[in-house]
């Protein structure tokens, strides 16, 4: 399954819904999306990963790059993920300490810094 991306706004948060596979082939599209949002002044991002089937270290690198970009503007990047197979790679890489990971979009949107 290819990568799918869609965005919507809730208050000052921009939700990026990602579906399919994030790997070495598709990750550049996600990076482009995050770069565009930051360039557009969207500094508080929620990346909804509930429909992601596959994530590898290239995808993690893009998310870390996104986090660095929003933080440069005092922004935030929160993840929504409850899938064990996706959470596992965040744990292996130590990134659970870097990203706030939420169990629902509502929870991520209402979270305060």
Closest by CA to 52, choosing from 66, 63, 65, is 63
Cβ proximity to another protein: between 96 and 110 the closer is 96
Cβ proximity to another protein: between 28 and 110 the closer is 28
Instruction: State in angstroms the smallest separation of the CB of 105 from another protein.
Output: 24
Q: Does 52 bind another protein (CB under 8 A)?
A: no
From candidates 4, 19, 93, 101, binder to another protein by CB under 8 A: 93
Closest by CA to 24, choosing from 61, 79, 68, 66, is 61
Number of residues that bind another protein (CB under 8 A): 29
Cα torsion at 19, 63, 97, 43 (round to 10°)?
-100
How many H helices and E strands in the chain?
4, 5
Which residues contribute to the site for another protein (CB under 8 A)?
A: 21, 23-25, 31, 54, 56-58, 60-62, 64-69, 71-72, 85, 88-89, 92-95, 97-98
């Amino acid at each position: 399954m290819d990568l799918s991306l869609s965005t919507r706004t809730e208050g000052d948060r921009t939700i990026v819904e990602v579906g399919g596979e994030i790997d070495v082939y598709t990750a550049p599209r996600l990076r482009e999306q995050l770069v565009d949002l930051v360039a557009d002044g969207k500094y508080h991002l929620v990346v909804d990963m509930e429909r992601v089937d596959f994530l590898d270290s290239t995808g993690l690198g893009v998310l870390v790059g996104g986090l660095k970009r929003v933080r440069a503007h005092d922004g935030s990047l929160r993840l929504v993920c409850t899938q064990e197979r996706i959470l596992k790679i965040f744990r292996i890489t130590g990134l659970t300490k870097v990203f706030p990971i939420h169990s629902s979009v509502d929870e991520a949107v209402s979270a305060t810094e």
